[in-house]
Amino acid sequence: MTLNLTDAEMAVLEALCEKKELSKTTLIRQALRLYQVVELRLDKGDKLFFEDDKTKDKAEVLMI
């Protein structure tokens, strides 16, 4: 499978690979796992939140 990524997207991919010490393939696998699990929860009706560590405020992450 070939991916058509823009330069900006490629730059982000490479930066993430470097940060997480993963190859492009393994990083995209991780991203796919995350996306699948999030979608499954959203389908169930759950919501995804980020929580501010200091204030404990929750902000909803809108998913398309």
Does residue 10 interact with another protein by CB under 8 A?
A: no
> Strand pairing partners for 60?
49
Q: How many residues bind to another protein according to rule CB under 8 A? A: 16
CA-CA distance, 41 to 17, in Å (whole number)? 26
* Nearest approach, Cβ of residue 7 and another protein (Å): 24
14, 23 Cβ separation under 8 angstroms? no
What are the residues facing 49 on neighbouring strands?
Answer: 60
Q: Please report whether residue 23 would count as binding another protein according to CB under 8 A.
A: yes
Task: Give, rounded to a whole angstrom, the gap between the first and last alpha carbons of the chain.
Answer: 24
From 5, 10, 15, 32, residue interacting with another protein (rule: CB under 8 A): 32
User: Which residues contribute to the site for another protein (CB under 8 A)?
Assistant: 20-23, 26-27, 29-30, 32-34, 36-37, 40, 44, 46
